[in-house]
Amino acid sequence: MKRVEASDETQATAFVPLSAPHFRGNEWAYVKECLDTEWVSSVGAYVDRFERELAERVEMPHGVATANGTSALHIALKVAGVEPGDEVPVSSLTFIAPINAIRYLGAVPVFLDSEEATWQMDPEALRAYLEGCDRDEGAVRNRATGRRVRALVPVHILGNPVRMEPVMELAERYGLPVIEDATESLGATYGGRPVGSWGAMSCFSFNGNKLLTCGGGGALLARDEAQACRAKHLTTQAKADPLEYVHDEVGYNYRLTNLQAALACAQLEQIETFLERKRRIAARYREAIRDLPGVQAMPETENARSAWWLFTIRLGEEARLGSRELVASLSARGLQSRPLWQPNHLSPAHRDVVPEGLRLPVSEALFDRCVSLPCSVGLSESDQDRVIEALFELLR
């Protein structure tokens, strides 16, 4: 009897993480097999299997596993032909990785604002930018800067899709390839099609806090076989002759190991369960938050099914606490939460490529007002109730 009380006590104060991994499938068995067979490094049956099965799940013809999501983005941009001095329109409100990848190539990110209705990259902002560009001899050029535009990078943040229909329409009109940063939104669909199957290429991440994780890892999916082969080649030090070690260009060591791929395969087997749990967690939060004045749950894009990766709320101006105060107060109760990322047009890392005084009011407001809540696949209903009760205590 006493012991039950003690464990109830622990239960009530235990730390609840924002987004923790969930290993309840074949992870141990597959990793053990790698160790037993000594196939632990960057070639192996699990790498091939993961590339094939991820591509199948996302309905893209070709998959290339990579060391992480950032390296997948770097290679996708390079394969798309992005060169130093090119402009690449991209969402400003995102984790910094896609912007860094653009910068690795010496290209210039053009930061686009979010839209109120979806919190995602605003296709109207993309339209306005492209209206300032001309098509000449196959190239698209920004009239104001004289720079060539080489690719478009919509980032599907928090599990929810960018409105891809207008984005693809613009991409086709201007003949520009789309590289989807789908790292946060594996499992989401837009217009009935998987996120990551709209563009010429798409990138995924299997970092520790993503829907599926293998510790660290990534993948690039491509529609075109030649582009997939070139991506694989570039991730493998551009080795042209495996015996003589002849390399035909400057390549990268960006491969995923068989050990990581084994974990990733085991995780991918559970994706439908994971998505179902994310949906249930989101539905419970949305239901509860409905009665909390001044608090808005993250939207689901029209004509889309969100993967609900990181469940996020937006505090209204009338809310009793600001986002940072809420994060601190939840933390004092053992509940991990966090604000959204600093929009990249405000980032000290990219200040040198941002037009003087650029303001993107929607992404700045979201940065100021949003908080992501605990939403691990394994989050228990009682832990979720603790979060909901804390929100009511702090905000009502």
Q: Where are the alpha helices (DSSP H) in 210-357?
A: 225-235, 258-268, 271-289, 323-332
Alpha-carbon gap, residue 376 to 213, rounded angstroms: 12
Strands (E), 143-267: 148-149, 179-181, 189-190, 193-194, 201-205, 218-222, 239-241, 246-247
- Which of the stretches 2-10, 137-145, 178-186, 314-322 binds ligand PLP when contact is defined by CB under 6 A? 178-186
Per rule CB under 6 A, count of chain residues that contact ligand PLP? 14
Q: Of 69 and 187, which CB lies nearer to ligand PLP in the complex structure?
A: 69
Alpha-carbon gap, residue 367 to 268, rounded angstroms: 31
Minimum CB–partner distance for residue 61 and ligand PLP (Å): 22
Q: Residues 47-86 vs ligand PLP: string with x where CB under 6 A?
A: ---------------------xxx----------------
Residue 367 carries which side chain, given as an amino acid letter?
Answer: F
155 closest CA partner among 101, 93, 210, 113:
93
Cβ-closest residue to ligand PLP?
69
Q: Does 180 bind ligand PLP (CB under 6 A)?
A: no
Given candidates 180, 184, 364, 383, which one binds ligand PLP under the rule CB under 6 A?
Answer: 184
Q: Of 220 and 319, which CB lies nearer to ligand PLP in the complex structure?
A: 220
Q: Does 155 bind ligand PLP (CB under 6 A)?
A: yes
Query: Is residue 360 a contact partner of residue 343, using CB atoms and an 8 Å limit?
Result: yes
Given candidates 44, 154, 159, 218, which one binds ligand PLP under the rule CB under 6 A?
Answer: 218
Q: Does 179 bind ligand PLP (CB under 6 A)?
A: no
Token pair of 162 as six digits: 């960018």
Minimum CB–partner distance for residue 310 and ligand PLP (Å): 9
Q: Does 194 bind ligand PLP (CB under 6 A)?
A: no
Residue 129 carries which side chain, given as an amino acid letter?
Answer: Y
Given candidates 207, 258, 270, 376, which one binds ligand PLP under the rule CB under 6 A?
Answer: 207
Q: What residues numbered 93-112 form the site for ligand PLP, per CB under 6 A?
A: 94-95, 97-98
Alpha-carbon gap, residue 373 to 351, rounded angstroms: 30
Number of neighbours of residue 369 by Cβ within 10 angstroms: 18
182 closest CA partner among 76, 294, 317:
76
Given candidates 19, 118, 183, 372, which one binds ligand PLP under the rule CB under 6 A?
Answer: 183
Query: Is residue 46 a contact partner of residue 30, using CB atoms and an 8 Å limit?
Result: yes
Minimum CB–partner distance for residue 367 and ligand PLP (Å): 14
Q: Does 205 bind ligand PLP (CB under 6 A)?
A: yes
Per CB under 6 A, residues contacting ligand PLP are 68-70, 94-95, 97-98, 155, 181, 183-184, 205, 207, 218
